[in-house]
Copies of this chain bind each other. A is one copy, B any other.
Amino acid sequence: MKHILSLLLMLICSITATAQQATWIWYPGDFEIWLGNDMQNRRTERETFYPVFWKMDSHYPLVDFHKEVDLTAPEEVSIYVEGRYNVRIDGKAFEGAPSKITIPAGKHWINIKIFNQAFVPAVYISGRTVFSDNTWLVTPEDKEWIDETGKASDISATKWLHSGSWNFNKPETPPSAFRLPVSPASAVSVSSHSKGRIVDFGKETFGFIKLHGVNGSGKVNLYYGESREEALDIQHAETLDRLSFHQSEKRDTVLSLSKAFRYVNVETDNEVQVDSISMLYEYAGVKERGNFRCSDEELNSIYDVAKYTFRLATREFFIDGIKRDRWVWSGDAYQSYLMNYYLFYDNETVQRTILALRGKDPVTSHINTILDYTFYWFMGIYDYYLYTGDETFIKQFYPRMKTLMEYCLGRRNKNGLVEGMSGDWVFIDWADGLSKKGELSFEQLLFCRSLETMTLCADIAGEKKDAETYRQYAAELRARLFPLYWSDSKQALVHSRVNGMQTSNVTRYANMFAIFFEYFDQQQKSAVKKSVLLNDNIQKITTPYMRFYELEALCAMGEQAYVLKEMKSYWGGMLKLGATSFWELYDPSVSGPAHYAMYGRPFGKSLCHAWGASPLYLLGKYYLGVKPESPGYKTYTVQPVLGGLEWMEGTVPVPEGDIKMYCSKKEIKITTISGTGTLRLQSTIKPTCAQAIAESKGGNTYELTLQPGKTYVVNYRAVK
C-alpha cells in the first residue's frame, strides 16, 4: 500500500511540476508589438488622446504552431486557445475545436492553427510531457496544401521560428488579459485651497486614482502635478481627468487610465462630494538584483532615487517618462538596457522593448522617425548579446535587423554617409542651437558601430556572406572617420561636414562616443579629454541623457574622482531642489518653477525620466567596475575604482546569479558565481589573497583570475 501511495504522490508531483512548465506562446514579437501599440496609445494631454507619429505594425492574425513529439505512452493534452483554431496530428485534423486530445504513443507531429484579428493568436498546451513552451515552432504562412491528387505541397520555403512567451503560466490568464500588478497606496497629506483640495502622495508615483465615498450629481475635476505648482495650475497641468457623477448613495470609483503624479488637485461641484482619494500604485514586477552602497550618503541617495526613477519608467517596456510620452523611444531605451543590466537584469523587458521598437517590415522610417534612434537600436542588440549571450534572439530576429540596415544603407548620400533626409528627425540631444545640417560626425560614428553590430549578428545567424559585406562597410566607414572629421587644430572631431567641408564647430557628442567605442587611440583620448570633455568653452550638456555618455567617457579614461563630483553636483543638485525622481533635463543655472518648463509649456518637462537614472549604470560598471568581456559574462572584468570614496559595496547580476563585492582602500572582497573573471586593481603593495596570488601586470597594476562560485578576499593598498 505504501508503495502505491508513494507512486501516486510522485505522479501528482510530476503532473504539478509539468503543469508549471507550460506557458502561453505566440509568434515571437507579436504580443510585444500588440502590447506596444496598446501601451503607447495611453498617452493623454489634458484628456486628449496623444498618439505616436510613426507607423504602428500588427500581429499576424493567422499562425500555425507546430511540434514533433515522441511519446512512450498515449497522452491526454489540454488545449487553451485565444482565437479560432484547429488541431492536427500528423496532418489529420480533429473534428471541431477540441479542448482535449489524446496523442498516441510514438512519433507524431502536432499542428495548432489559430486565427485572431483582434488579439494575438496564442495557445497554452498542457500535458504530462507535451506542453507549450519555446520549443514549439511557429509560422504565419505554412504554405502547406494538398493538391487534387492528394500530393502534399513543397513546404521547403516555410520559415519556422521558435515561439515567443513571457510569464503567462496559467491557462486562465491568457496574454490578452495582461495587466501590470497594482497595490493600494495612501496620500501623505491633504490640504485645502480656495476651490478644492490638494493631495500629496509624498513622492513621484504612478497609478490609478481611487475616489472614496463619491455621492451626488456633478463634476469632479482632477488635475495632476509632478509639482505642486502644476497641480494647482488648472490651465496648464499637463494631465487631468474630468469626471461626471450621478449617484444617490456613496460609492468608490477607480479611474481606468493610470497617470503619473505626486500631487492631485481635486476640485468638485458643490453638488457632489468626495470623501477622499487614494491610489492603486501600478508597477512592473521586476526584481532588483543589483545594488550599490558606499561611504557617501549623498551618493547613496542619488543611487536610491535613480533606482526609483528607473523602476517607475520600467513598465511593460522601458519607456521615457511616466507623465508625458509613456512611449518607447529607442535612444532612451538604449540607456535603460544598460541600467537594467546593473539593476534588474530583466532581459525579457529588453527583448520586449527591442521588438516593440522594431515592429515589422516594411521599414518606412527610422525608429521613432529618428536617424540616431535607429542606430541605438542596433547598438542595443550589441550590448544585449554582450551582457546575456543570448544567440537565439539574434538568430530569430536577424531578418528584421537586416531589413532595417538595408533601409539605412539605401539612404546614404552620394558620399556614402548618412545625413537627415526628407522626413528624418536628426535628434542627438535637446541643446540650444545644435546644428543638424550636413554629414554629422556623431551620426557616422553610430552608423559605424551599427555596421559592426550587423557583422557580429550576421556571423551568429550563420549569414556569412552578409557578415562579409557588413564587415567591409564597417571597416571602410571607420577608416574614413578620422580623415573626414579630425581637426588637428581643434584636437577633436568636428561636429559636421557641410558641402563637403569640415565645419569649425566642435561639440562633445562624437568625441565622447569615440572614447568608449574605442575609436580613439590613447593619445587622441588624452587630447580630447582636455580639448573637449574638460573644456568649458565647448557647449555644456544639460540633459541627463547626454551626461550619461559624457560621464561614461570620463570614467572610461579613469576620471572616476571627477565624475563622482559631477554626479554629486548634477544629480545632487536635483535632490537639493526636492526631486523625488530624476528629470528629463536639469539646468543648474535656472531657478524656481522655471525648472518645470519645457517645449514652451510651463509644466512640459518630465520630472521622472528614465534617462535621469544613469548613476545606476556608471556606479555598477565604472566604480564597482564589473563588466562582461565576452558574451553572457563567460569572461568578465572586475576593476573597482573608489574615485574618492572610503568604501563601496554592491551586487552585479549576471546570467547565473550575482557577483557580490566590497571594496575599501585596503580590502576587496568578491563572491563570484559563474564564468571566469579577472580582478584588476592598482596597489602600491603586492596584494594578498586567500586563494591565489595576484600577478603583477607591470607598474602598480595587478590581476587575479576569479574562478566561479568562490569568495576572494584581497588585501591591497589603493594607489590614491
Chain A positions near chain B (C-beta within 8 angstroms): 34, 37-38, 41, 45-62, 84-86, 93-97, 113, 115, 117-119, 140-146, 148-150, 153-158, 242, 361-362, 364-365, 369, 403, 420-425, 430, 598-600
Query: A51-B86, A53-B144, A56-B115 are known contacts; what are 19 more A-B pairs with Cβ within 8 Å?
Result: A37-B61, A37-B62, A37-B117, A38-B117, A46-B95, A48-B94, A48-B95, A48-B96, A51-B115, A52-B62, A54-B143, A55-B60, A55-B141, A56-B60, A148-B599, A154-B422, A154-B423, A157-B423, A157-B424
- Smallest Cβ-Cβ distance to A145: which chain B residue: B53
Docked pose: A425 CA to B153 CA in angstroms: 7
Whether the Cβ atoms of B55 and A422 lie closer than 8 Å is no
Contact B59 A140 (CB under 8 A): no
Which of B37, B85, B117 is close to A49, meaning CB atoms less than 8 Å apart? Answer: B85
What's the Cα separation between A599 and B148 when bound, in Å? 4
- B117 contacts A118, CB within 8 Å? yes
> Contacting A50 at CB < 8 Å: which of B53, B61, B86, B148?
B86
Task: Give the secondary structure class of A's interface.
Answer: loop
* Total copies of this chain within the assembly: 2
Q: Please determine whether A156 and B93 come into contact, CB atoms closer than 8 angstroms.
A: no
Residues of chain B contacted by A49 (CB below 8 angstroms) = 84-86, 97, 113, 115
Please measure, in the bound complex, the distance between the C-alpha atom of A48 and the C-alpha atom of B50, giving whole angstroms: 43
A87, closest chain B residue (CB) = B48
CB of A59 within 8 A of CB of B58, answer yes
Q: Report yes or no: A45 in contact with B423, Cβ–Cβ below 8 A.
A: no
- A163 to B613 CA separation, bound complex (whole angstroms): 44
Listed by A's residue number, 9 A-B pairs whose Cβ atoms lie within 8 Å are: A48-B95, A50-B86, A51-B86, A52-B62, A53-B143, A58-B60, A143-B423, A150-B599, A157-B421
Count chain B CB atoms within 10 A of each CB in A46, A51, A97 and give the residue with the most. A51
Q: Does A141 contact B364, Cβ atoms closer than 8 Å?
A: yes
A362 and B361 contact, CB distance less than 8 A:
yes
The 6 closest A-B pairs by CB, nearest first: A157-B423, A58-B58, A118-B118, A55-B141, A157-B422, A361-B362
- Separation of A61 and B39 alpha carbons in the complex (Å): 13
Q: CA separation between A156 and B369, bound complex, in Å? A: 13
Q: How far is the CA of A708 from the CA of B211 in the complex (A)?
A: 73
Name, among A58, A148, A430, the residue most crowded by chain B CB atoms within 10 Å (CB to CB).
Answer: A148
Contact B118 A156 (CB under 8 A): no
Residues in B neighbouring A425, C-beta threshold 8 A? 143, 145, 153-154
Contacts of A62 in B (CB 8 A): 37, 41, 51-52, 55-56
Q: Cβ of A423 and Cβ of B599 under 8 Å apart?
A: no
CB distance from A371 to the nearest CB of B (A): 12
A143 neighbours in B (Cβ, 8 Å): 53-54, 365, 369, 423, 425
A596: min CB distance to chain B, Å:
14
Tell me the smallest distance from the CB of A96 to a CB of chain B, in Å: 5
> Bound state CA distance, A489 and B365, in angstroms?
57
Task: Select A93's contact among B45, B57, B97, B142, beta carbons within 8 Å.
Answer: B45
